[in-house]
């Protein structure tokens, strides 16, 4: 497990086919600290704790950088902050059940036998990057997704239990935490200014081989449409492509420059076999900083939206729309119900060429730049309108059309004696993952209850009861309270399978 595969690739596995890559790094914590993101104080997650969000100001000397072909400096800085992540989970699998009537009498006049879903314990592993001295770790969402237990093996061989703080499927990032102090951590580098051809190192734990370092170059930037995420919405992809060798188990590790700074979280490989075949892909640290800060501070990712229907400019579009620019992002329309960009003055047929002074030659770059901002923040959008360059100050909105910051859901459990289970409301990530508006997730199952007897474990999502859609855990519990007789339940299992059962 723990690989994220490129679209249309097929491999066989006991778990979901995933492909991931990884690297890790650390930083010396000396002298006074100053906020790294000076222009965005809201990103200051750690105020008194040494972390990737802070930097040294007492040492005026520049950080020494490795020379091309000399990787020992970066490797020595990176490996202490790379961790090995192990997870345990339960998957429900179908098993052919023996019918005692068939075995002893050659048949069962009442029917019986067939398949029954049974829980099966499974394990997986990946990598992670320590970003604060008190134990916050960035990894991939798919490394810890649906895990019942998460443990972290540090570079000094200590093994600690970890708590999943929050996850973001749209970027395949997650933050976990271990209880410790004075841990080595990696400082954030600058993924915007890395150049194609620049040397980089990938550090992680492929094949359960701890602290493995490989070298390569940046072979491309801004790659998109890499991972098949048909159950996700609003995926944010602008991958760094490298040829540093990564393999299963590297997922969630770090991509570092020759200064030993984190410039990306290794996430995917191009492969027809599940093994490295020449290319790997990392989420740039410009996205990692924003997402990890939001997950720690708010419990979910705060995304600002321009509110535009966009299309990448190409020669056909230039001719068809008589555009006066050959690259950028074309504004084709605005969604119903209002738009931040439209309110600021943008029009159909505008071509967005910059955001906050940074060029937007592609959709992925535009989405990356806007994705770094939160609702309520202002961006300067530069457009080419019939050959004239115009700037617009756009106040970004959230997906609901306002500028509110939305905290992550912390729903308490509701018990159902009928099911023999506890339920909780769905998170926004759950709704996005399964493309549903409501329902209730099973968080605990009594093995002797109705659900437990059928082999269902926690993670199953109930969407309908007796053909009626349910909104949340409370509604499920109320419908089933004092219920007698059979009930038809529809839902989604942890692997995405749609299930209909009569209890």
Q: Are 440 and 472 in contact (CB under 8 A)?
A: yes
Look up residue 6 and give its two tokens: 């490129």
Task: Check 168, 172, 430, 457 and give the catalytic one.
Answer: 172
Question: Residue 172, annotated ligand binder?
Answer: yes
Task: Check 134, 142, 243, 294 and give the catalytic one.
Answer: 142
Question: Residue 142, annotated ligand binder?
Answer: yes
Residues 6+ apart with CB under 8 A from 149: 87, 88, 89, 161
Look up residue 242 and give its two tokens: 């490298």
Length of the chain in terms of residues written: 503
172 is catalytic: yes
Q: Are 65 and 73 in contact (CB under 8 A)?
A: yes
Task: Check 127, 166, 191, 251 and give the catalytic one.
Answer: 251
Residue with tokens 């972390």: 51
Question: Residue 155, annotated ligand binder?
Answer: no
Look up residue 263 and give its two tokens: 């410039």
Neighbours of 220 (CB within 10 A): 13
How would you classify residue 21: left for phi > 0, otherwise alpha for psi between -120 and 50, otherwise beta? beta
Helices (H) and strands (E) in the chain, counts: 10, 27
Look up residue 108 and give its two tokens: 């069962």
Short-list 218, 182, 82, CA closest to 139: 82
- Residue 332: exposed, middle, or buried by beta-carbon count in 10 A (0-12, 13-18, 19+)? middle
Residues 6+ apart with CB under 8 A from 31: 56, 57, 58, 59
Angle ∠(50,53,55) on CA atoms, nearest 5: 65
Please tell me what DSSP assigns to residue 59: -
167 to each of 125, 265, 413, how far by Cα in Å? 17, 14, 20
Look up residue 381 and give its two tokens: 């959008």
74 to each of 184, 202, 260, how far by Cα in Å? 14, 10, 4
Look up residue 280 and give its two tokens: 């790997």
**Segment holding 475, helix H or strand E:** helix 473-480
- At 295, is the secondary structure helix, strand, or coil? helix
Q: Are 445 and 457 in contact (CB under 8 A)?
A: yes
> Which residues define the annotated binding site for substrate?
142, 172, 249-251
- Catalytic residue numbers? 142, 172, 251
């Amino acid at each position: 497990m723990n690989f994220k595969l490129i679209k249309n690739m097929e491999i066989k596995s006991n778990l979901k086919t995933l492909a991931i890559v990884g690297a890790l790094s650390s930083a010396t914590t000396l002298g006074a600290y100053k906020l790294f993101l000076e222009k965005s104080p809201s990103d200051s997650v750690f105020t008194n704790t040494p972390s990737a969000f802070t930097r040294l100001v007492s040492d005026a000397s520049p950080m020494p950088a490795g020379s091309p072909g000399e990787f020992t400096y970066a490797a020595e800085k990176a490996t202490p902050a790379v961790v090995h992540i192990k997870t345990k989970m339960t998957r429900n699998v179908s098993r052919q059940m023996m019918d005692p009537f068939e075995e002893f009498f050659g048949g069962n006049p009442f029917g019986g036998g067939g398949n029954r879903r049974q829980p099966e314990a499974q394990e997986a592993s990946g990598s992670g990057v320590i970003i604060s001295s008190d134990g916050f770790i960035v990894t991939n969402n798919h490394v810890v997704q649906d895990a019942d237990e998460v443990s972290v093996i540090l570079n000094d061989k200590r093994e600690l239990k970890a708590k999943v703080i929050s996850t973001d499927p749209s970027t395949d990032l997650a933050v976990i935490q271990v209880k410790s102090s004075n841990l080595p951590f990696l400082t954030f580098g600058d993924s915007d200014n890395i150049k194609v051809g620049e040397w980089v190192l990938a550090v992680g734990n492929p094949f359960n081989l701890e602290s493995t370092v490989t070298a390569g170059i940046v072979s491309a930037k801004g790659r998109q449409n890499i991972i098949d995420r048909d159950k996700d919405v609003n995926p944010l992809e602008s991958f760094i492509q490298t040829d540093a060798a990564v393999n299963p188990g590297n997922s969630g590790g770090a991509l570092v420059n020759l200064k030993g700074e984190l410039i990306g979280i290794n996430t995917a490989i191009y492969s027809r076999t599940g093994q490295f075949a020449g290319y790997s892909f990392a989420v740039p640290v410009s996205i990692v900083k924003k997402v990890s800060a939001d997950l720690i501070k708010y419990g979910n990712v705060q995304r600002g939206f321009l509110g535009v229907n966009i299309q990448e400019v190409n020669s056909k579009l230039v001719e068809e729309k008589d555009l006066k620019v050959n690259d950028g992002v074309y504004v084709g329309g605005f969604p119903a119900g209002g738009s931040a960009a439209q309110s600021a003055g943008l029009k159909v047929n505008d071509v967005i060429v910059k955001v906050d002074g940074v060029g937007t030659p592609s959709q992925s770059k535009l989405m990356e730049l806007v994705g770094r901002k939160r609702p309520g923040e202002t961006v300067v959008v530069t457009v080419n309108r019939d050959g004239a360059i115009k700037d617009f100050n756009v106040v970004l909105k959230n997906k609901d059309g306002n500028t509110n910051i939305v905290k992550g859901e912390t729903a308490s459990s509701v018990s159902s004696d009928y099911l023999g289970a506890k339920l909780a409301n769905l998170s926004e990530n759950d709704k996005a993952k399964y493309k549903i508006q409501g329902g209730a997730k099973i968080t605990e199952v009594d093995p002797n209850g109705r659900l437990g007897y059928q082999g269902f474990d926690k993670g199953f999502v109930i969407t309908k009861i007796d053909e009626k859609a349910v909104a949340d855990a409370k509604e499920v519990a109320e419908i089933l309270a004092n219920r007698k007789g059979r009930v038809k339940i529809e839902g989604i299992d942890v692997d995405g399978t749609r299930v209909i059962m009569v209890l």
